[in-house]
Structure 1
């Protein structure tokens, strides 16, 4: 149950962040909005870490360099999401974003990328994805 609650919290924050970034970018530009968002996100994470201290910061040496660059995806995410919101609106952007996430997670699970165990994807998973895509198309019409 806790995982689902955090998933909903994260999903809500992604949407709120996207809308806020779109508004910021109207005034100062998209890359500038991404910069401010990344900076405030870093400061918030640093503040939370200062209080929680739930891990070994020195353990970063064990992490593959490719994975340490994961935060850099944030800049691309922000730029892409802001640009999409400005062109196709919030609802369609978030819907397309979720479908893209599912497609990539299917690939990761199916092929075992990034050290993840391989998982078989069957008809129920593909039907679910098709229903999501169909739902988005219906919403857009």
Structure 2
């Protein structure tokens, strides 16, 4: 059975790219996280094994992983989360909990095709999108009930 990192390596190989040791390490931290991580949290985690790691190193790696469809940038939280389903270009709908900051991805909701058609009808060409919907996750709702 393939691990998420094996799957990521295969995904990148199919696109002529490599999962370098640094990319693997950053993705591994995101996969192991219990929610989104900020770039500087990733930097701190990396510096435990790579004392020379710097912010540009982390940001370049994150830019690559986002561009390849392995990671989502959650703008409202200024953080990153591993994609449960790899896809490029990004077409995700991210559900962001305002209380616990948990993130869940909806894969191609049925209304997304309608949105794509509406956008195309304006003459606008949509390359990618990541829509963030904010609210409360089930666990946070139950905790306040």
Q: Same fold (TM over 0.5)?
A: no
- More strand, by proportion: 2
* Higher Cα radius of gyration: 1
Which structure carries more helix by proportion? 1
**TM-score, structure 2 normalization:** 0.28
Task: Report the TM-score, using the length of structure 1 for normalisation.
Answer: 0.28
